[in-house]
């Protein structure tokens, strides 16, 4: 695969821009045989993209045929490419991830589901449309765990009602929590397997309580790493992807 095509696929601009980066000496490729970085001057030079490591303007990248990321979403950000009030979560990502080419008008990685602007925690992003569809499909019932701080003290009756199901105004069918535990008087650990608009807040309101803070700590068996600070992101490993679900 030509180097300019590799750079293009990773979001470094048009093929012409990518060729220019190479010709200007801004791209290096790591040679594992001599364990050294080598400058490349020919944008049409072929490389095997598998396990390829390269540097663009001094920043190291690894080739990824598809991008799968986790982001620790901070409060005060919107999961939108065109935010209305708050900064976009996409502003937390480097340019190449926002510019990875896709079919149609959309570019870059996209959030898999959303968190409200005041919510925090684990958010997945990808440019794999099939992955987004699979994760969003209600058929798969992928559990998501939320840490909920409540305004009023939580009692056993509220926990029981959340487990038995509450009726929301847009669905005649009761919505149930897959699991619900009171960690302390104002802290619920709530597990859901479906996603509706403002679902956690509306479920708590339905049982006479109110959400003060909402944090998603887990998707499937994938937990938000303790060392991933708000606003930081990292690539998902194969093990991470396997732990999420089907």
- Domain extents in the chain: 3-62, 68-138+222-244, 144-219
Confidence class for position 195, pLDDT limits 50, 70, 90: confident
144-219 belongs to CATH 3.40.50.11540: no
Q: Which of 5, 116, 128, 179 is catalytic?
A: 116
Which residue in the block uniquely carries the two structure tokens 């802290």? 187
The string of pLDDT tens digits covering residues 137-146 is 877 889 999 9
Q: Which fold has domain 68-138+222-244?
A: Alpha-Beta Plaits (3.30.70)
Q: What is the DSSP string of 132-177?
A: HHHHH-TTS---EEEEEEESS---HHHHHHHHH-EEETTEEEEE--
| Residue 227 annotated among the catalytic residues of the structure | no
Superfamily of domain 3-62: RNA-binding S4 domain (3.10.290.10)
d(CA 64, CA 52): 9
End-to-end CA distance of the chain: 31
Identify the three-state secondary structure at position 91.
helix
Spell out a b/e string for 187-214, using b for 16 or more CB atoms within 10 Å of the CB, else e. Answer: ebbbebeeeeeebbbbbbebbebebeeb
Average pLDDT over residues 33-38: 96
Mean pLDDT of the chain: 94
| Residue 26 structure tokens | 């801004």
147-173: per-residue pLDDT in tens? 999 999 999 999 999 999 999 987 778
pLDDT of 194 strictly over 90 = no
pLDDT of res. 106? 75
Q: Which of 68, 136, 74 is nearest to 100 (CA)?
A: 68
In this chain, the answer to whether the domains covering 3-62 and 68-138+222-244 adopt an identical fold is no
């Amino acid at each position: 695969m030509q180097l300019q095509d590799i750079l293009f696929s990773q979001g470094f601009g048009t093929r012409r821009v990518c060729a220019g980066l190479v010709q200007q000496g801004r791209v290096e490729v790591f040679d594992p045989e001599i364990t050294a970085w080598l400058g490349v001057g020919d944008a049409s030079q072929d490389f095997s993209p598998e396990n390829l490591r390269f540097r663009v303007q001094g920043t190291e990248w690894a080739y990824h045929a598809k991008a799968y990321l986790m982001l620790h979403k901070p409060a005060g950000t919107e999961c939108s490419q065109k935010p209305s009030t708050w900064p976009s979560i996409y502003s937390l990502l480097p340019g190449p991830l926002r510019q990875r080419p896709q079919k149609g008008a959309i570019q870059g990685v996209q959030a898999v589901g959303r968190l409200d602007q005041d919510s925090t925690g684990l958010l997945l992003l990808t440019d794999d449309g099939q992955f987004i569809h699979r994760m969003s499909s209600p058929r798969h019932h992928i559990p998501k765990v939320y840490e909920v701080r409540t305004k009023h003290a939580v009692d056993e009756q509220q926990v029981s009602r959340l487990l038995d199901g509450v009726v929301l105004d847009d669905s005649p069918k009761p919505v149930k929590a897959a699991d619900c535990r009171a960690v302390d008087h104002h802290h619920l650990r709530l597990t859901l397997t479906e996603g509706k608009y403002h679902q956690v807040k509306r479920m708590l309101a339905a049982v006479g309580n109110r959400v003060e803070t909402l944090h998603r700590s887990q998707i499937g068996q994938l937990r938000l790493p303790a060392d991933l600070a708000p606003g930081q992101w990292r690539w998902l490993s194969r093990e991470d992807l396997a732990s999420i679900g089907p």
